[in-house]
Chains A and B, each alone.
Chain A
Amino acid sequence: EVQLVETGGGLIQPGGSLRLSCAASGFSVSDNYMSWVRQAPGKGLEWVSVIYSGGSTYYADSVKGRFTISRDISKNTLYLQMNSLRAEDTAVYYCARGLGSSWSLFDFWGQGTLVTVSS
């Protein structure tokens, strides 16, 4: 059974750093496109970042230079390192798997982890 479990969210002050984790089971993160998608409280969905099966990474302009996506094949886990956090980064962060050859079509999502950036 495919499962994605995010951890690492919490309350962090502006300018701080946080690392989110997404543990996968039932499939290999290294064989799939894996993304982070976020949702601000009461708002819609915003794609954040993707890591291709080949290792290439891409980011939304809103987080470029501040966030880094990575993976640990041995742990079958996806990460999102978030630096220089801002209030507008407050959101539930979901990890999601790309369907087949489409990196931007998301067929499985984790339950999400809440990041709150506030002083």
Chain B
Amino acid sequence: DIQMTQSPSSLSASVGDRVTITCRASQSISGFLNWYQQKPGKAPKLLIYTASTLQTGVPSRFSGDGSGTYFTLTIVGLQPDDFATYYCQQSYSAPPTFGGGTKVEIK
């Protein structure tokens, strides 16, 4: 199975900050990397797929980049609604696997 490693596991930030989360795959996954946002007690929500494609309805302050084994999720101008846990996930090969998550907290 492909292992997905996210860093940091948590971070504190203020409204308006720029935040970057990284995700590394244990082997090349080309561009088959997806990002989800999850709030407490809620289901995950797809934000970005195939590394950089914004899902319909997702604000443009979110962006994704990367290929191969290294990927990033960036939020420019953090909003109160963005405080949540973010997961990366590879859809390159079965079984699909998720990173351990990055919790974005209010500073």
Taking Cβ atoms with an 8 Å cutoff, the residues of A that contact B are 44-47, 58, 60-61, 94, 99, 102, 104-107, 109-112
Q: Cβ of A99 and Cβ of B46 under 8 Å apart? A: yes
Nearest chain A residue, comparing its CB with the CB of B91: A104
With A and B bound together, what is the CA distance between A110 and B46 in angstroms?
12
**Which residue in B42, B87, B100 is a CB contact (below 8 Å) of A111?**
B42
Taking Cβ atoms with an 8 Å cutoff, the residues of B that contact A are 34, 36, 42-46, 49, 55, 87, 89, 91, 94-101
Nearest chain B residue, comparing its CB with the CB of A35: B96
- Indicate whether A106 sits within 8 Å of B95 (C-beta atoms), given known contacts A44-B87, A45-B87, A45-B89: no
A31 → B minimal CB distance (Å): 19
A4 → B minimal CB distance (Å): 9
With A and B bound together, what is the CA distance between A110 and B45 in angstroms?
10
With A and B bound together, what is the CA distance between A42 and B99 in angstroms?
14
B62 → A minimal CB distance (Å): 16
Instruction: Please give 15 more A-B residue pairs, beta carbons under 8 A apart, in addition to A94-B43, A106-B46, A112-B43.
Output: A44-B87, A44-B100, A44-B101, A45-B36, A45-B44, A45-B89, A47-B96, A47-B97, A47-B98, A61-B95, A99-B49, A104-B91, A105-B91, A106-B89, A107-B55
Main secondary structure of the interface of A (DSSP, over half): strand
Q: Cβ of A107 and Cβ of B46 under 8 Å apart? A: yes
B101 → A minimal CB distance (Å): 5
With A and B bound together, what is the CA distance between A111 and B45 in angstroms?
11
Residues of chain B within 8 A (CB-CB) of A58 are: 94
Nearest chain A residue, comparing its CB with the CB of B98: A45
**Which residue in A46, A61, A94, A99 is a CB contact (below 8 Å) of B98?**
A46
B21 → A minimal CB distance (Å): 14
Nearest chain A residue, comparing its CB with the CB of B55: A107
Residues of chain B within 8 A (CB-CB) of A44 are: 87, 98-101
